[in-house]
Chain A
Amino acid sequence: GEDVEQSLFLSVREGDSSVINCTYTDSSSTYLYWYKQEPGAGLQLLTYIFSNMDMKQDQRLTVLLNKKDKHLSLRIADTQTGDSAIYFCAEKGFQKLVFGTGTRLLVSP
């Protein structure tokens, strides 16, 4: 079955790196995604990684995929207060996206 888990909360100081972790269960997932949800807003696609890749970097964002352990992480370098939001990982299951519970990132000045 499909199940995606994330830790609920992460607090960092401005300028530090943030690492948000996710585990998934469907080994046949072809793509894995990170979405950001700011208060009162919809989900914004940040980045995604194909399952045959180990890493993808996009400016301040680095995605690491450990397919053996079914572990996905999102690293945000030089975290800013504007990065405070809920971050969802999602896997592409059969005909649908399966989302994790979301990690609330709080960035303090």
Chain B
Amino acid sequence: DSGVTQTPKHLITATGQRVTLRCSPRSGDLSVYWYQQSLDQGLQFLIQYYNGEERAKGNILERFSAQQFPDLHSELNLSSLELGDSALYFCASSVGGDTNEQFFGPGTRLTVL
């Protein structure tokens, strides 16, 4: 158990809908990272927040957004969902903004029908 929690574990929704994925980092970690894992794209970095501020941005679509709250938990919002958004979404956390060790949560499996 990495100490990073993600909810929900599974999510099934329809195209065009909007969903919110939630992540709680390990106690004491200030950074939260979001990744998408799909069969065709592999594991891709989406976005990082550090202490409430956006720190780095990867291959995140405009339909997706994220935020980190004062209690350091983070939410990833996915809107206007498409079939191709079906994937595993992982959250990871680390102590600092640029540290070596990222600890991953168990992931949220999103299925868009």
Residues of A within 8 A of B (CB): 31, 33, 35, 40-45, 48, 88, 92, 95-102
Contact = CB atoms under 8 A, between A and B. Distances in A.
Interface of B: 2, 4, 33, 42-45, 48, 55-56, 58, 90, 92, 98, 100-107
B104 A43 contact: yes
Nearest to A50: B100
A33 to B, nearest CB: 8
Contacts of A43: 43, 90, 92, 104
A37 to B, nearest CB: 9
By Cβ-Cβ distance, the 5 closest A-B pairs, closest first, are: A95-B56, A42-B104, A99-B43, A43-B104, A96-B45
A92 B33 CA distance: 14
B45 A97 contact: yes
Given A48-B100, A95-B56, A96-B48, A41 B106 contact: yes
Nearest to A98: B45
B58 A96 contact: yes
A55 B102 CA distance: 21
A42 B105 contact: yes
Contacts of B103: 45
Q: Determine which residue in A40, A44, A95 has the highest number of CB atoms from chain B within 10 A of its CB, and name it.
A: A95
A41 B107 CA distance: 7
A49 to B, nearest CB: 10
A42 B56 contact: no
A33 B94 CA distance: 15
B107 A42 contact: yes
B42 to A, nearest CB: 5
A88 B56 contact: no
B109 to A, nearest CB: 9
A44 B55 CA distance: 23
